[in-house]
Amino acid sequence: MNADQNERRGEDNQTGLAQKRGFQDLVAWQRAMELVTAVYRITRDWPREEQYGLTSQIRRAAVSIPSNLAEGHGRSGPREYAHHVSIAFGSLCELETQMLIGEQLGYANGATTAELMTKTAEVRRLIRGLIRSLQTRTPVEMRS
């Protein structure tokens, strides 16, 4: 296996051992990234006049979810981490609302909205679990 393949698998180029990649190891972040891709795919065919309106807004809300999970993970303290996870949760709620607006306006059909809502429900469950785990950790555990 070459160095590029190792890097894609998260392995050290010298030793071949798996590296901890931080926020990229969070299942919540991984599912949120998949959600972003789904949102971009779904909104690709929305009306052109919404490019700078609802389409832009829903895409920004979707991107905000994994971005805040990553930023919080990179912060120095547990309170900052929890704050960014909370922002990610708020962005998820915003995304759900905007998707329902898109459906009401006829930009998305019920099946498409239901598919996206299934994905958001999974991300919601994962973020809630992350919030609970952050609330129960001691400051010493948060540093490790």
pLDDT at 77: 80
The pTM of this model reads 0.80
According to the 3-state scheme, what is the secondary structure of the chain? CCHHHHHHCCECCCCCCECCCHHHHCHHHHHHHHHHHHHHHHHCCCCHHHCCCHHHHHHHHHHHHHHHHHHHHHCCCHHHHHHHHHHHHHHHHHHHHHHHHHHHCCCCCHHHHHHHHHHHHHHHHHHHHHHHHHHHCCHHHHHC
> Phi/psi at 16 (nearest 5 deg)?
80, 5
pLDDT at 135: 85
The fold for domain 22-143 equals de novo design (two linked rop proteins) (1.20.1440)
CA 46, CA 55: separation in Å to the nearest integer?
7
pLDDT at 136: 81
pLDDT at 139: 53
pLDDT, greater one: 77 or 57: 57
83 has pLDDT over 80: yes
At 41-63, the pLDDT tens digits run 999 999 999 999 999 999 999 99
132 has pLDDT over 50: yes
pLDDT, greater one: 30 or 139: 30
93 has pLDDT over 70: yes
Domain boundaries, the chain: 22-143
CA 56, CA 60: separation in Å to the nearest integer?
6
